[in-house]
Structure formats: C-alpha cells, structure tokens
Structure 1
C-alpha cells in the first residue's frame, strides 16, 4: 500500500568544519519542519564533508554529546532526519547515516558497498536497523546504489521510498540519476537522491538532488548546486514537488 508522505532532500554545501555543518543541518531541519516535511535526508558524510583522511579524527559514536543539537532540532521540528557521519563502533569506522527521530531515539545505517580507496579508511557495513520500516523507507549510501541487488532487496521489503545519501560528481550524474530513475520503475517505489551542493573532499559535485515517483518521473529536482531543499509529497496517489533555494536565509 502506498502511503502519503512529504519528504525532502537537503542539498548542503560542506563548510569543512563539523560545528558549522552541524549548525547548517539544524537550520535545514527547522526549515523542513516549517514546510511540513516528515522525512529529511542529507548527503553522504554531510556532517563532516567527504574527507576520508580526516574521517577517524572527525568520527563520533551514537552516544556523542555533539549530536544532541540534532536530537533537539528533530524534536522541535517533528522531522525524522537522516544525516551522514563517520561513525565509530567498537573501534571500527563506518560511513553511516544517522537516523534521528523526534522522540529522541537515534539509530544508524552503515554503507555496505565501498568505493575503491574507501576501504583504506572504512569498514564495509551490513546495513543496519535504520530501514525506517514504519515510514516505508529503505536507506542507501552512494556506492550501495551501484549494486542492483541492494535496490532489489529494498524492493523485496515492499518499501515506498528508496532514499540515497550520495556524493555524485558532474561526470557521474547522468548515469547515476538514470539508474535511480530505473530502480523506481523496476521496484515500484519512489527514489530520493540527496547530493552534496558544493565541493567536498576535492570532488567537483553535481548537486541536482532529486526525487522520482514510482514511474521514474522526476517530481522535484535542484537545477544546480548550492543549499537547496528539494521537497516532494504524495497525497492520495498523486505527487507534487517544489524546490526552495537557500531555505534558511
């Protein structure tokens, strides 16, 4: 059964500083709350930027006090936020998505498939409990989406949304966006892409965060880079979307 949902991709620009990125995330969550968004997804490693060589030093644990600001923002805005972070668990480092719920609970999804070179810094994950089944959402992080079996596994769960936190460059965007649109059609779910909105880790990112419906049609998309809130809503089976540039200024 397709459920009603209002969701958004937070296309953020890396400030190359955790505290500055944290403030930016909280402002995005507040803006999403004002728009009635219930699920807000950020890009891969959004809280620190995609800086592999500094990932260990920038890592957090789920119990880290530095994450309390996100808990408060989520609770105040009544928004489930999915934010990217290098996560340390039992001495092992993962590329993770933190799932922060308005009730104060926090879980994590761990990237399962690593790009070449990432294995020098991170361990591959096994997913995690953060599939957001109550909202009908399955999570993915960047390279996960390059493996058809990952997208198929989400489809087998009967989810309504496949939400991907990514870093996609200009050179890779056409291929990756076409692939995500094709997944939507094949598995009968909507697809959300949250991409970085500016350079990070030396990569020339594409921006163009987007949301596709179950037929692979683009409902809402950022046309370029920069801070943007890309919103899509399904109500009674019909999709509408819009984009808010610089949503907190």
Structure 2
C-alpha cells in the first residue's frame, strides 16, 4: 500500500482575476487571496498557470522572473506571515534558453522552490523551453505532486507522480469552456488510474486570447467530482485531503 499522510491537509484552489502583464497588480491580488485562504484554515493555496502575469506567451521573455526576484520574496513573506504554503504561476528566467512556464513554491519557513512545466501545449515551444524534473512536496504529511496544464495530458507525468507515491495530484492550469470536458475527462482518468485525488486550479479571466471557464475543483480517487467552484466566480475552493481521501 501507499504511504499516506495521516494529519490531513487543507488545500485552497484560487480563482482570481488576472490583469495582462501587470505583475505588481496581480501580486497584490495574490496577497489578498493568500490571507483569505489562511483565514479559512488552508495549509496550502494554489494559483492557476502563469497567475502572476496572465497567460501571455508573447510577453514571457520580458516578464520572466529570476529566482531571486523581489516578487518571490514578497510571496515568501506572505507565506511566513500567514503560516501557509503558496504555489503561484510565473514565467521563469532560464539561463541561455527561452523562459519557462513555471511555479514558485513558498513555504512558511522561508524556503522557496521552483517547478518548470515539462510538457508544452501546441505552440508554446516557440516562446518557452521545458523543465526536466518532476516536483513533489510534503505539506502536513501529505505528498503533493504538481502539474502545469499540458503536463497532465502526457501520461508519463502522472505516472511519475504515482511512482513518487504522491497522495494528491494538483494541476495549475488554463482551461477554456470549449476544452473543459476533454480536460475534465483526462483528470478523472488520472484519479481513477492512480487512485489518488486530483485537483484543478483554473483561470477565470480572458487571458492570452482564451476565455477561461473556472470550475476549479477536485476529483476523488474513484474519479468522482467531489468539490467544484461555481463557474467563473471569484473564489477559493477548499479541499481537504486525508489519507488519500478528498473531502470538502
């Protein structure tokens, strides 16, 4: 049997408005959501793909952030002040290569880690380079694997998470209304195949030319949609994972 977390972890999925290329403005919105998530008892708050900038591929090179960016320091301070783990979407500088679609993971003790998307969506390779390593962290004894959007469309990604004995698989994504049913089926199948809950943090804004659909939520290990946002409302969706079981 898998090793499962015993204390349980409350995860907040953030559906927030994002302004094109406005890092400072988006950062302020993130800080408000971080505080709100902590007030509601969350141990971890997860934002959608490229949440700090919007999904603006043509702007990635100029918006890409180095790992010592003050933006990340501000998020780390917020994680510490609110005793919460923060996963935010951002373009990352990749030395000598195109920028990466990434995520910063800020822990409440001040530590900071990064993940770069491994599998790109059609057209993204023009603007981006790929990451080469999976990402898993432990929060309150729960082993959490992170995917960024098209990662979950490649079976190898979730298989790697299962091999690492993940307790939950979280996709930080951009999904449109037209694409939701197909992607929801993929996430359902991942949950059923690997017998772990699968969570989705999606955009609600019009970003990168896409009208996104929200519907952030989670599927249990049977592939059943257990918790979901009400469409595109500004919200935090709270999911509790304990010993591989997903509850509201």
TM-score, scaled relative to structure 2: 0.92
User: Which 10-residue stretch deviates more, 130-139 or 210-219?
Assistant: 130-139
CA offset digits 1:34-86 (Å, max 9, x no partner): 11111211110000000011111111111012322211111111111111100
1:141 matched to 2:152: no
CA offset digits 1:127-153 (Å, max 9, x no partner): 35x411463011100011101111111
Q: Residues 11 and 228 of structure 1 are in contact (CA less than 8 Å); yes or no, is this contact kept in structure 2?
A: yes
Cα RMSD, aligned residues only: 1.5
TM-score, scaled relative to structure 1: 0.92
Residue 197 (structure 2) aligned to one of 190, 208, 213: 190
1:47 matched to 2:52: yes
Q: Secondary structure at the match of 2:136?
A: coil
Q: Secondary structure at the match of 2:190?
A: helix
Equivalences, count? 240
Residue 13 of structure 1 deviates from its aligned partner by 1.7
Q: Which runs of 5 or more structure 1 residues have no equivalent in the other structure?
A: 242-249
Q: Residues 40 and 80 of structure 1 are in contact (CA less than 8 Å); yes or no, is this contact kept in structure 2?
A: yes
1:94 corresponding residue in structure 2: 100
Change (3 A) 1:50 1:158: same
Runs of 4+ in 1 over 4 A off after TM superposition: 235-238
Q: Residues 60 and 91 of structure 2 are in contact (CA less than 8 Å); yes or no, is this contact kept in structure 1?
A: yes
Residue 111 (structure 1) aligned to one of 100, 113, 117: 117
Q: Which runs of 5 or more structure 2 residues have no equivalent in the other structure?
A: none
Q: Secondary structure at the match of 2:11?
A: strand
In 1, the alpha carbon distance for the partners of 2:119 and 2:243 equals 35
